[in-house]
Amino acid sequence: MLKCDYGNLHREVSLLEAAGAESLHLDVMDGHFVPNLSYGAMVVKRIRELTDRILDAHLMISDPGRYLDDFVDAGCDSVTIHIEAVPDPTELLHAIRQQDVVAGLAINPETPVEAVEPFLSLCDLILVMSVEPGFGGQKFIPSALNKLTRLRELSNAQATFSIDGGIDLTTVGSAAAAGVDICVVGSAIFDSSDYRASMQQLRIEAHSCRQAAAL
């Protein structure tokens, strides 16, 4: 939702629902962990009132523990924190799960797999950043796919894998072939005039590349 029209949030949510979006990915930035500021739990709460789709909060903030309850109370179904912000996320991942919320851990392009490896069993969702966090519209970093493959090998079968950054018609296929479960898409939908058509094209491309990879 980073690239959506915040002046027309209600309309944007309706268009995304009509386009078939399964979940809404909410990029929360604090101006400290990443340079940009976006929005906090109050806006998430309003989005919750507008939709029953899955709300997937991606906390690009330095002190996620301080605000965790606010995001849970706002109605997030999933809360993802960054390993770079919380080098030992054991307590926080437990706390998220205890609230019956999906516990996610995100990893930046520069961070090695070893940083998250000890905590994989505590994660319901692993989010691999395929751009530097903090800005929309960046170019996809292909090495993220190797990281995704390695993390899938190391992780338990239940974890869901998500990729975030630079996903469009030219990159969605390689992400799908690498076995990703969720593609976070921003510009490729919001910069188009027809969200439904854009999402459908992305799905077709992802499915055909996934099938080709499985052959």
Residues in contact with Zn ion by the rule CB under 5 A: 27, 58, 164
Between 34 and 178, name the residue whose CB sits nearer to Zn ion.
34
* Structural tokens at position 24: 């809404």
Q: Could you confirm whether 168 is annotated as catalytic?
A: no
**Ordered DSSP codes for 166-188:** S-STTTHHHHHHTT-SEEE-SHH
- Amino acid 198 reads S
**Residue 152's closest CA among 101, 117, 109?**
117
Between 124 and 164, name the residue whose CB sits nearer to Zn ion.
164
Between 27 and 30, name the residue whose CB sits nearer to Zn ion.
27
5, 27, 100, 194: which one is catalytic? 27
Q: Which residues contact 158 (CB under 8 A, 6 or more apart)?
A: 124
CA distance 171 to 141: 10
Residue nearest to Zn ion (CB): 58
56, 124, 164, 168: which one is catalytic? 164
CA distance 22 to 211: 21
Min dist. Cβ of residue 162 to Zn ion (A): 9
* Structural tokens at position 45: 């709460």
Min dist. Cβ of residue 128 to Zn ion (A): 11
- Asked if residue 29 lies in contact with residue 134, where contact means CB atoms within 8 angstroms, the answer is yes
Min dist. Cβ of residue 116 to Zn ion (A): 16
Min dist. Cβ of residue 135 to Zn ion (A): 11
- Distance from chain centroid for Cα 210: 20
Q: Could you confirm whether 27 is annotated as catalytic?
A: yes
Between 130 and 174, name the residue whose CB sits nearer to Zn ion.
130
- Return the active site residues: 27, 164
